Structure 1
């Protein structure tokens, strides 16, 4: 096995162009497990850990609408500590990833490239409307996260492309993420669900994980809830949500799944669990939105 270790981003792209069969490795939390269990034996490893550009994050200019650019090599622990306030849904998901040691090593870019249906970072990124920056020596392009995955452990990446960064809009409303696993920590998800409220444009974002061949949004549930909130004028006057609305939202989420039976859970269990997660996360997000509206109202009257 050959081992390539570029010093910067341009060298990394050149190495990938010259050796398109090379397997990128950053934190190694997925690739090393496959190597240790002999599930995979690549001819070439492309170590990206020395590429400083991948370990940086920044806020894009205000003209681009309050977007954070997260380098593909930023580990989960830094996402929690440094951007958790701006990206609460992603931070919630990051806290569920493995142990502290795994969160210190594992990266969001690696999570995306692994393309597991159970990747914890995927649902909140989809709910937020994030985009993936993809680059090669030929060109660069931006792909919506919801379109990045093409199948189980498959992505839109060409042979000579690497993930440079993920662009995530800053939260403008409450975000929630919930995960069910076979135990409380250090576990691959049985299923996950994320929801994001976007009050400024009066829309809703969703993301489901480990319940279909790829992570996905539930556009029917998003459109239904946004329309109900607009019709009831609840974006401006956030009264409690009727149970019928919550139930229908959860039903639409469940209808969008295509789960399987595996060692972590049955399809039937996943279907039931996602309905529960949809109700809970929506309830938590809406309660947060109501509380923030009440607080703003009291401050306005002071």
Structure 2
């Protein structure tokens, strides 16, 4: 196995163009596990850990430009106010040691249906910025995942950044696992409300061959929600949960059955609505004199 450690982004693109078989590695929390268990034996590794620009983030025109190698721990610390759903998802990733290493770029590159960042990225309408020697292109998150652990990246492309709109309303994320921490999701769900456009975004994880959005549920909730109070009738909340579950395409596996995943998604969706309403009510409570 060959090992490449470029010192600059230009060098990384040059190496990837010459060796499209080289597997990128940032935090290594997915790739190294596969290597250690002899599940994968690539011909070459491309270490991106020395490229400082991938570890930075910036806000440009209301959009967070998140470098592909920004670790989850920094998202929790620095971006919880701007990207609340992604920060909530980041808190559920592995252990503190893993969160200090693992990255959204790596999560996207792995393209696992159970990736913790994916539902939040779908709910918020993120865009993946990919680059090669041929140029830079932006891939809407809805078209990024193409199959089980496969994505729209070309063989010579690397993920440079993820462009995520700053929150324009309340957001939530929750997942179900076989234990409380350090667990692969049985299923997960993210919800993002845009109060300016009065639109709803959703993201579903670990309940289909790819992460996906519940478009029918989004349209239904946008019409049923009282955008002033963020309240919704109990029957409408229940229907929203049903539509989220209907959008999933889960399978039976060692972590759970398809029926359980659908049930759990319906529960998570209705709970997300309740949490948003509860937070809105608390914000409206008068401050004691």
Same fold (TM over 0.5): yes
Unaligned runs of 5+ in 1: none
Superposition pairs of residues 65-214 of structure 1, within 5 angstroms: 66-214=62-210
Equivalenced residue count is: 288
Distance 1:89 1:289 in 2: 16
1:262 pairs with 2:253:
yes
Q: Kindly report which structure 2 residues correspond to 1:214-293, keeping only aligned pairs within 5 A, or say none.
A: 214-229=210-225, 234-236=226-228, 238=229, 240-292=231-283
TM-score using structure 2 length:
0.97
How far off is 1:268 after superposition?
1.3
Distance in 1 separating the partners of 2:205 and 2:280? 24
SS in structure 2 opposite 1:274? helix
CA RMSD of aligned residues (A): 1.3
| Residue 49 of structure 2: aligned partner | 49
Deviation at 1:269, TM superposition (A): 1.0
CA distance in 2, matches of 1:204, 1:107: 26
Segments ≥4 residues shifted beyond 3 Å: 289-292
Distance (Å, rounded) in 2 between the aligned partners of 1:207 and 1:287: 21
- Alpha-carbon displacement from aligned partner over 1:34-75 (angstroms, at most 9, x marks no partner): 001111000000000001110010011x3xxx1000000000
> Could you list the per-position Cα deviations for residues 144-195 of structure 1 after superposition, in whole angstroms to 9, with x for gaps in the alignment?
1121100010000000000000001111111000010011111000000000
CA distance in 2, matches of 1:131, 1:291: 33
Distance in 2, Cα, partners of 1:189 & 1:168: 23
Specify every segment of 5 or more residues in structure 2 that has no aligned partner in the other structure, as ranges. none
TM value normalised by structure 1: 0.93
* Structure-1 separation of matches of 2:198 and 2:13: 40
Three-state SS of the structure 2 residue aligned to 1:105 is: coil
